[in-house]
Amino acid sequence: MSTGMIILVCALSLIAGVAIGFFIARKYMMSYLQKNPPINENMLRVMMMQMGQKPSQKKINQMMQAMNKQMK
């Protein structure tokens, strides 16, 4: 085997490893965020109260739907 062939095989192996690692990490993070959403209704209610708004259930539901729609 020539030196050029060894370098080519190493480069292709590195690129394949990076690509496979990226897709595995992406799939893991998507499933993690789906199981553990970053913001829930209670957190949203507290944030609205801190901003000086009186949160109604309708407004909270609207904001949650908008956030869920944006995540997809």
d(CA 46, CA 57): 13
Residues 51-67 have pLDDT tens digits of: 998 889 999 999 889 98
What the block records as the tokens of 38 is: 């970053």
CB atoms within 10 A of CB 33: 11
What is the per-residue pLDDT for 40?
84
Q: Residue 5: what pLDDT?
A: 93
Say what the pTM is.
0.56
pLDDT above 90 as % of the chain: 56
- The C-alpha atoms of residue 62 and residue 33 are separated, in whole angstroms, by 20
Over the Cα atoms of the chain, what is R_g?
A: 23
CB atoms within 10 A of CB 69: 8
